[in-house]
Chain A
């Protein structure tokens, strides 16, 4: 047995792991592990709290106690986000003739839309996971929007080629405006859904909601816009996702700043 094995046992076992013969044999030889275990396992029991403090907390939370309905299962929120995604894309795509869809090759359609749908799915799972504290979400919420933005750039660069364009900024601004026209209401709808949960990290969930709303805008643009210039798509279409994510993260950061500054000594908290 090595020091690493002792570490492993200390982490895995709730009690003192030296009761096994091989652990004892190691500890007889290893002074460092003996010292470590002395310190780790000889800390005191939690101090008893003053009864008056516990009574105050109990009184505060029971004074206006009303039954609450637990949050619906995750699949409810996943389904609701999917409905929002497809409804807004349908509303955005239908009136404009779907020119973009017609000008894309089969390979481009498969590459772009499969990536968008997969990214939207991952972001939705991340958002729904963040609604419940302590919910095991294997997707890293901080890294996911960045990873999705990166993958999208790679797919778009691979799928499209540079083309000559006379009105890069003017036509681009129209696309950006159209994309955001669908992203903003999508973000609001998703936010209305998500606010039922416990938002512990508004910045992270804001970036994810913004990213998902941006993907809705991007999908609408890819279906409607027939401009296949890679620079146009990168700056003005992908830019919608980037802008939405950043706006979501910024709004979340603002909420976090305000909430973090007041939550500890809010009037209600002081009443406890």
Chain B
């Protein structure tokens, strides 16, 4: 059996192979997977929940769950949809837990904490600020597509949806972002560095 490092190519790791090796108890492969997937999973959680602390909690939880159900990954299948399907569930659980705690204590703001003022001096709001104002489903699809760089098919797998439904959600998200940009009167200054 090859070690986890051997599965890393010059262009990046072969995640599916690393996962298969992880199933065979290759600790180097498990460590490599954690190293390669954690930053994008953390970004996925941070963009969805808006809080770094929450994202770190969820990152730990998602790895715990991945470890527990690693036998359900079928070698040869794409890994990212499998990982993101688990990550979605972790996010939903975390969101519900926060809601429960919030309803018991006081009205806790569970929406993302990005503030428009944190980028003072820029003409455009940040991607995170804009995405935070989208409905949950659109935010999730857009984050997976544009931040985590999953393909349409992978997003469809991860969300138990169809490619058509994912496209539709993405289109609605883009429309909404356009209107938000227009409303915020940011659009007039927004053409720098696009058409490269």
Contacts and interface: CB of A to CB of B under 8 A. Distances in A.
Contacts of A263: 61, 65, 90, 93
A70 B71 contact: yes
A133 B86 contact: yes
B194 A57 contact: no
B57 A198 contact: no
Contact of A49 (B39, B89, B195): B39
Given A31-B191, A39-B127, A134 B181 contact: no
Interface stretch (B7-15, B20-28, B105-113): B20-28
B86 A198 contact: yes
Nearest to A16: B196
B187 A264 contact: no
A78 to B, nearest CB: 15
Contacts of A4: 171
B17 interface: no
B81 interface: yes
Interface in B149-173: 149, 151-152, 156-158, 160, 162, 166-167, 170-171
Residue of A18, A47, A49 with most chain B CB atoms under a 10 A cut-off: A49
A214 to B, nearest CB: 23
Given A16-B196, A58-B31, A49 B97 contact: no
7 contacts: A34-B190, A38-B191, A57-B63, A70-B74, A131-B72, A134-B84, A136-B160
B85 interface: yes
B72 A198 contact: yes
Contacts of A12: 152
Interface stretch (A60-68, A81-89, A99-107): A60-68
A190 B64 CA distance: 26
A38 B126 contact: no
B60 A272 contact: yes
Contact of A70 (B64, B75, B84, B196): B75
Interface in B171-196: 171, 174-175, 177-178, 181-182, 186-188, 190-196
7 residue pairs, one from A and one from B, having the closest CB atoms: A35-B190, A134-B81, A133-B85, A43-B127, A198-B69, A134-B85, A46-B39
Given A34-B191, A69-B71, A260-B93, A40 B83 contact: no
A6 B133 CA distance: 21
A37 B194 contact: yes
Given A12-B152, A70-B75, A46 B40 contact: yes
B116 interface: no
Contacts of B90: 263-264
Interface in B71-130: 71-75, 77-78, 80-86, 88-90, 92-94, 96-97, 100, 124-128, 130
Given A11-B166, A11-B171, A131-B72, A36 B86 contact: no
| Size class of the A contact interface (CB-based, 8 Å) | 35 or more
A170 interface: no
A54 B190 contact: no
Given A18-B196, A136-B157, A263-B61, 20 more contacts: A7-B171, A14-B151, A19-B196, A31-B191, A32-B178, A32-B187, A35-B178, A35-B190, A35-B191, A36-B174, A39-B124, A39-B125, A42-B193, A43-B147, A58-B31, A60-B63, A70-B74, A136-B156, A198-B69, A260-B97
A38 B189 CA distance: 10
Nearest to A4: B171
B16 interface: no
Contacts of B151: 14
Interface in A3-34: 3-4, 6-8, 10-12, 14, 16, 18-19, 24, 27-28, 31-34
Residue of A56, A66, A67, A68 with most chain B CB atoms under a 10 A cut-off: A68
Residue of B84, B85, B178, B193 with most chain A CB atoms under a 10 A cut-off: B178
Given A39-B181, A200-B85, A67 B162 contact: no
